Amino acid sequence: MASHQHVAKKGYGPFFVVLPLVLLFAGCDISAGHLMGRATEEWTHTYPLAPGGEVRIGNTNGKIEVEGVDGSTLEIHVEKIARAATDTGASELLPRIRVREDATPDRVSVETERMGGIMIGAGFEVRYRVRAPRTAVVNVTTTNGGIVLTSLGGKVVAHTTNGGVKAKALTGGIEARSTNGGVTVDFASLGSDRVSLRTTNGGVVLFVPESAKADVSASCTNGGITVAPGLKLDVSEQSRRRLEGRLNGGGTQIELRTTNGGVRIKPRADAADVLTDDEPNAEPRIREKQMKPRDDRDHRDK
């Protein structure tokens, strides 16, 4: 059973948007960073997780951070943020930002729900900060926001549309995807699980120990591919847009792909100055749209 801690706050801040005005924008997206009303609610839940259990986080607007820790307890901290022209308007929206939980000993799933009913010029942000058992399987997805991963040893899937993926000190496999954002991953060591890093608009940067053994396949459309001189890569195929080779004789399968951006493979010693958390969350949009209510009777809403 999960244990709960709740904190609610109100105030002002440069975050995301809600526009409770009688204005019809016919589906157009506009920015509303000038809106000053803000209301927030925070909670922290903990769950027991079996060895090798799975953690799934699904989000729409907002950042997801996951850190691997020792032990068998999963901790998830959620911050829900509503913005409006006034604090009152933001406070009225806040209860409609709902997070659904589904927890078993082998799998914990937490998801930001889409809002039901009619919402005119409305938006929100939910931020997740997760401390997961180091060997857990982690699957995280967001639409507008970055993903930051630290010290994880199990299989990881990390997908975002508008935002980057950054990972540090991994020891397991990862599938990282972005559409508009870079993908930067640092490995403390390589295991047997496959590594796949892909983006459309952004660069791909991989940091590995100089002794790492891997079979590397890299490609890009508009950009270049570079391998740091300190890495022992035996190249079997190379052009401006494609590279195939074996690192220290071969081993872990590594795939690196981008369309508009470069691919860089570097020794881990160079990672310290790159893997800083300086990438802002993707800014949400104000959107007028109608959403059908959902039947959530089989789920817990917090």
Dump pLDDT digits (tens) for 127-148: 999 999 999 999 999 999 999 9
- Reading the block at residue 161, the tokens are 């549309």
The vertex-283 CA angle with 277 and 287, nearest 5°, equals 155
Q: What is the mean pLDDT of the chain?
A: 83
Position 291 scores a pLDDT of 31
Position 86 scores a pLDDT of 87
Domain assignment present for residue 123? The answer is yes
* Domain final position from 102, 132, 162: 132
The residue ranking higher by pLDDT, 209 or 301, is 209
Same domain membership, residue 202 and residue 128: no
Domain assignment present for residue 190? The answer is yes
Domain assignment present for residue 281? The answer is no
Number of domains in the chain: 2
Same domain membership, residue 249 and residue 187: yes
Same domain membership, residue 36 and residue 154: no
Domain assignment present for residue 188? The answer is yes
Position 294 scores a pLDDT of 37
Same domain membership, residue 126 and residue 18: yes
Query: Which residue do the tokens 């496999």 mark?
Result: 173
Position 261 scores a pLDDT of 96
Same domain membership, residue 168 and residue 122: no
Domain assignment present for residue 277? The answer is no
Position 286 scores a pLDDT of 35
Rounded CA gap, 168 and 181, in Å?
Answer: 17
- pLDDT tens, position by position, 142-182: 999 999 999 999 999 999 999 999 999 999 999 999 999 99
Rounded CA gap, 55 and 58, in Å?
Answer: 10
Domain assignment present for residue 71? The answer is yes
Domain assignment present for residue 278? The answer is no
Same domain membership, residue 257 and residue 174: yes
Rounded CA gap, 88 and 139, in Å?
Answer: 36
Domain assignment present for residue 233? The answer is yes
Q: Is the pLDDT of residue 296 over 60?
A: no
Do 68 and 132 touch, CB atoms closer than 8 A? yes
Q: Which domain holds residue 18?
A: 1-25+32-132
Same domain membership, residue 197 and residue 125: no
Torsion of CA 90, 94, 161, 208, to 10 degrees: 110
Residue 206: C-alpha distances to residues 76, 120, 165, 191, 236 (Å): 28, 43, 12, 15, 19
* Domain final position from 132, 165, 186: 132
